[in-house]
């Protein structure tokens, strides 16, 4: 015969053990997700910089010089970026400056900088600023993982 007073269910210790395991697993998952989002948001900067590179080369072929204005519509500028030089998602601001020759007509350096206080400001220090020049050189270098 069964004991009618026997309790069924989980003890408090079992419940606390399950909660501790869930807390550990969720903390690992959240950290991994944040890292994934940082890498994903870098696409905003990479895409904008590569679009500027293509537009600068096109502008150079048509005008025999580069241009620093990436906001204004052609022919006064490249027409790539939104107001204030922001990338489409707004995670970075882009600046186009003279490159190695210190003359915008003959070289350029396009730099994407994480918006202060924005989500990418928490990215690794190395990956908060990405740049590309008229020679196609990327900073930080490919080995840093920022361009992947």
Q: Which two tokens stand for residue 35?
A: 């890292």
- In this prediction, residue 97 carries a pLDDT of 94
Contact 100, 137 (CB under 8 A): no
- In this prediction, residue 1 carries a pLDDT of 61
- In this prediction, residue 2 carries a pLDDT of 67
Please indicate, yes or no, if residue 139 is contained in any of the structural domains.
Answer: yes
Name the stretches of the chain with pLDDT < 70. Answer: 1-4, 7
Please state whether the predicted TM-score (pTM) of the whole model is above 0.75. Answer: yes
- In this prediction, residue 60 carries a pLDDT of 94
Please indicate, yes or no, if residue 48 is contained in any of the structural domains.
Answer: yes
Please indicate, yes or no, if residue 7 is contained in any of the structural domains.
Answer: no
Please indicate, yes or no, if residue 46 is contained in any of the structural domains.
Answer: yes
Please indicate, yes or no, if residue 61 is contained in any of the structural domains.
Answer: yes
Please indicate, yes or no, if residue 17 is contained in any of the structural domains.
Answer: yes
Please indicate, yes or no, if residue 38 is contained in any of the structural domains.
Answer: yes
Beta strands in the chain (DSSP E): 92-98, 108-114, 129-133, 138-139
- In this prediction, residue 81 carries a pLDDT of 85
Residue 99 domain boundaries: 12-144
Please indicate, yes or no, if residue 3 is contained in any of the structural domains.
Answer: no
Q: How many domains does the chain have?
A: 1
- In this prediction, residue 10 carries a pLDDT of 78
CATH number at residue 58: 3.30.700
- In this prediction, residue 144 carries a pLDDT of 87
Identify the bridge partners of residue 131 per DSSP, sorted by sequence position. Answer: 111, 139
């Amino acid at each position: 015969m069964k004991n009618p007073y026997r309790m069924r269910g989980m003890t408090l210790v079992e419940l606390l053990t399950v909660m501790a395991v869930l807390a550990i697993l969720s903390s690992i998952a959240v950290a991994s997700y944040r890292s994934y989002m940082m890498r994903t948001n870098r696409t905003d900067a990479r895409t904008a910089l590569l679009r500027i590179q293509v537009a600068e080369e096109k502008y150079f072929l048509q005008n025999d010089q580069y241009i620093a204005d990436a906001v204004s519509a052609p022919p006064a500028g490249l027409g790539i970026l939104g107001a204030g030089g922001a990338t489409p998602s707004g995670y970075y601001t882009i600046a186009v400056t003279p490159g190695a020759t210190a003359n915008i007509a003959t070289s350029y350096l396009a730099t994407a900088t994480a918006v202060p206080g924005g989500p990418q400001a928490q990215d690794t220090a190395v990956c908060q600023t990405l740049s590309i020049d008229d020679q196609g050189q990327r900073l930080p270098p490919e080995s840093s993982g920022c361009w992947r």
